[in-house]
Structure 1
Amino acid sequence: MKQLFKLILNTIPRPLLIRLSYIAKPVLVFFLKGKKYTDPIDGKQFKSFLSYGYGQQRPNVLSPSTLSLERHRLLWLYLKRETDFFTNTKQCRKVLHFAPEQCFLKRFKALDHIDYTTTDLNSPIADVKADICNLPFSDNSYDVIFCNHVLEHIPDDTKAMQELYRVLKPGGFGIFQIPQDLTREQTFEDNSITDRKARAEIFGQYDHVRVYGRDYFDKLRSIGFKVDEVDYTSQLSEEEIDTFRLAKGEIIPVVYK
């Protein structure tokens, strides 16, 4: 099963994978139903989660029901417990969501107190087809921006960050998660590496162009953002980390303008 998932991830284009996942979810939920692990996004329980990874597979991390990974479940808990994103109904916030994740899409759309727009260059479930380096949105347009696991795909991430800063309203906030090697001080990228297999081995995925180090936060600050490096798993119990299948030490970059 692990090898099959790895083959599927590395051979089927992402837009088609998204469409096929809607068919696969009910089957996976039925066969993996149990009581050991819980997906906090929908509250469903399973005897195990699925393995996931383009290169080396991580066991027991992909929720069968929402298709959430560790980072998605961690972000959901942070938004629910530490912010007023779900509860502030006194104002209508404009929210921009890049490369919308299936686990969030319908739930965010169902919130009456947000004006929700999704965007991506290729995703079949995005509202607006747009290049993150040349966004078709006015300056200071959005109160909240979610841009998670996108920037590692973008050759000119400086331009992308500048565009994110441009369209975020003063006083607004964003969450810009990325795959990150926290043992690495400096971000590594090498445009000469074009082989898909080599990219997967070096960058973690065949369509990534860099491995971010700890300097990622300072790069965001150089654009103008204020950045909180939130180590949210340090605030959770060991039982929660295990039950929700979270990755210890993963940092949530919360940015402000």
Structure 2
Amino acid sequence: MLRPWAQIKAAGQNVNYARKVWQRLNGVYPRECNICGYAGMFRAAGLPPRFDARCPRCLSLERHRHQALWISSNEHALLRNKRILHFAAEPILRKIYSALAARYASADIRGDGADMTLNLEQIDQPNASWDVIVANHVLEHVDDRKALAEMHRVLAPGGLAILSFPIAPLYEKTYENPAIISKADRDLHFGQWDHVRYYGADAADRIAAAGFEVSTFSVGEPYVHRHGITRNTRDFLARKL
């Protein structure tokens, strides 16, 4: 028995769509990696796939290349010879930050491959003991009010927290709901099963509430297309006064 025409048509559309996605997984446009110098096709990453996201040589993603642009313009004034504490350290950024620091330590709540086992919500470090804290795509996993207060405490006066996280800039307020606890529901509401919020346009205000002076860094063209950077990527720079 033949299926209804609508089902046959839908099946054909799905096959064509899948074919187009498959053809793009190994690169759509030539890109340049500002971290390792590779020039050529980038690979897709993530689910759903983000095309031209991962450098095949150094494995950097969009957010890593974006932050590397900020580092290249600020390393001498803000990073060189500083004490840098790096949470959930990405290998490619760990290499960059550790080369600049007078003292560098990576940290993770489980200690997996990190120099220190630390909980961002309760950092077991003395007051004012670090000059720079780096936490990329960490705050969306934790109680950010506790984490930001702790970062403020362990930073020295004038110290800097470099922060990034998924953001929906058209959301007027950060979206969070403690009643959403199942993995499936968190994936549906927050984009990943282990996320507990989606930051909105008030993200800088949430950071400032911990006592920081907040600025942001983002890039436009030609960096976006040249280096394969997502257009809404943003780094938050939180200075302890």
How far apart are the structure 2 equivalents of 1:81 and 1:107?
13
One of 145, 151, 154 as aligned partner of 2:139: 151
How big is the shift at 1:109?
2.8
How big is the shift at 1:193?
2.0
Paired letter, 1:41: I
**1:233 equivalenced with 2:219 (yes/no):** yes
1:66-90: per-residue Cα shift (whole Å, max 9, x none)? 22221111000111024426884xx
RMSD: 2.3
Paired letter, 2:50: R
- Taking a change above 3 Å as real, the CA distance of residues 207 and 87 of structure 1, as seen in their structure-2 partners, is closer
Structure 2 counterpart of 1:39 = 33
- SS of residue in 2 equivalent to 1:233: coil
Q: How many residues align?
A: 216
Structure 2 counterpart of 1:136 = 124
Structure 2 counterpart of 1:121 = 109
Q: Are the aligned partners of 2:161 and 2:237 in contact in 1 as well (CA < 8 Å)?
A: yes
How far apart are the structure 2 equivalents of 1:50 and 1:40?
18
1:59-113: per-residue Cα shift (whole Å, max 9, x none)? 221222222221111000111024426884xxx31101000001112333334x5
Q: Which has the larger radius of gyration?
A: 2
- Taking a change above 3 Å as real, the CA distance of residues 242 and 215 of structure 1, as seen in their structure-2 partners, is same
Structure 2 counterpart of 1:220 = 207
- Taking a change above 3 Å as real, the CA distance of residues 94 and 145 of structure 1, as seen in their structure-2 partners, is same
Q: Are the aligned partners of 1:132 and 1:160 in contact in 2 as well (CA < 8 Å)?
A: yes
Structure 2 counterpart of 1:248 = 231
Q: How does 1:190-229 map to 2 (within 5 A)?
A: 190-229=177-216
How far apart are the structure 2 equivalents of 1:200 and 1:221?
28
What is the identity percentage for the equivalent residue pairs of Structure 1 and Structure 2?
31
- SS of residue in 2 equivalent to 1:84: helix
How big is the shift at 1:190?
1.6
1:109-138: per-residue Cα shift (whole Å, max 9, x none)? 334x52001111125221111111111110
Unaligned segments of structure 2, at least 5 residues: 1-17, 19-25
One of 66, 72, 80 as aligned partner of 2:58: 66
- Taking a change above 3 Å as real, the CA distance of residues 203 and 87 of structure 1, as seen in their structure-2 partners, is closer
1:217-241: per-residue Cα shift (whole Å, max 9, x none)? 11111110000022x213xx33x32
Paired letter, 2:106: T
Structure 1 counterpart of 2:4 = none
How far apart are the structure 1 equivalents of 2:210 and 2:238?
11
One of 104, 112, 125 as aligned partner of 2:93: 104
Q: Runs of at least 4 residues of structure 1 off by over 6 A?
A: none
How far apart are the structure 2 equivalents of 1:42 and 1:74?
13
Q: Are the aligned partners of 1:67 and 1:102 in contact in 2 as well (CA < 8 Å)?
A: no
Q: Are the aligned partners of 2:168 and 2:200 in contact in 1 as well (CA < 8 Å)?
A: yes
How big is the shift at 1:246?
0.6
- Taking a change above 3 Å as real, the CA distance of residues 161 and 183 of structure 1, as seen in their structure-2 partners, is same
Q: Are the aligned partners of 2:132 and 2:159 in contact in 1 as well (CA < 8 Å)?
A: yes
